[in-house]
């Protein structure tokens, strides 16, 4: 699963802790949750996830200048 969105945050974190969350986090353990938001609708969560990822990419481009 390559989404940040989940219906069960504790289960998702447990998956990451044992290296089953995603290939990205599996290779960067240990991880720490620093932010989350709760949405009443999954489509709102997915839309927010897309915006969040695009902001992170832009910040990385500026910071690392690539």
Task: Spell out, as residue ranges, where the chain has pLDDT lower than 70.
Answer: 1-4, 66
> Tokens in use for 22?
């995603």
**Unique residue bearing structure tokens 């447990």:** 14
* Rounded Cα distance, 31 and 4, in Å: 13
Q: How far apart are CA 58 and CA 66, in angstroms?
A: 10
pLDDT at 4: 62
């Amino acid at each position: 699963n390559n989404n940040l969105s989940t219906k069960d945050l504790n289960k998702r974190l447990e998956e990451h802790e044992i290296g089953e969350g995603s290939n990205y986090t599996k290779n960067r353990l240990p991880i720490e949750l620093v932010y989350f938001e709760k949405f009443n609708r999954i489509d709102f969560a997915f839309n927010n996830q897309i915006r969040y990822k695009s902001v992170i990419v832009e910040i990385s481009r500026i910071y690392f200048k690539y």
